[in-house]
Amino acid sequence: MEAQEARDILAKSSLVHSPEAVQAALQRVAGEIAATLSDKNPLVLCVMTGGLIFSGQLLPKLDFPLEFDYLHVTRYGQDTQGGKLSWRSAPWTTVKGRTVLVIDDILDEGLTLAAVCESIKRLGAAEVKTAVFVEKENGKQKPIKADFIGLTVPDRFVFGFGMDVSGAWRHLPAIYAMPEG
């Protein structure tokens, strides 16, 4: 995407959650995770690439022992609608017998996160918890419920704070929605 096209998309989009709301949700989720996992030395797995911003800002707020790794699986690629699940990289750290916290950017239809959690369970994890920064209110029955949720977003294509639009704007400190239609 060309820079001007990205600027035009942002200019036409609407703010869903301000940087202040994002940071408040981040702080709240960190507290919820600490209350649940601080005594478990969890393995935290970031789902790349969307979960990177959330993980990068969340981990410094967790003041307990943990290990960190990542995995890369996607249904979107450069598209705005989910397609076939594509595994690009499995975690390098063994999950066998561990409490695992999977961190991702968005719970939309839930198919990707459900597949990731099932794979981690098959690899022998003792317990799998999930944290998503946003959950889309789309009215659909989802195959998984996140244990920790930062914010909710409307049933529109959203971007910012880890989520991108055709590769752009993943780094924004706020969350925006594309125009409807």
Instruction: State the DSSP code for 93.
Output: S
Task: Please report, as a single letter, which amino acid is at residue 23.
Answer: Q
Q: Scan for tokens 């409307």, then name that residue.
A: 154
Residues with active-site annotation:
108
- Residue 95's Cβ-side half-sphere holds a number of Cα atoms within 13 Å equal to 26
Q: Scan for tokens 């003792």, then name that residue.
A: 126
Of the candidates 72, 84, 158, which has an alpha carbon nearest to the alpha carbon of residue 119?
A: 72
Sign of the C-alpha dihedral, residues 154, 172, 73, 167? Answer: positive
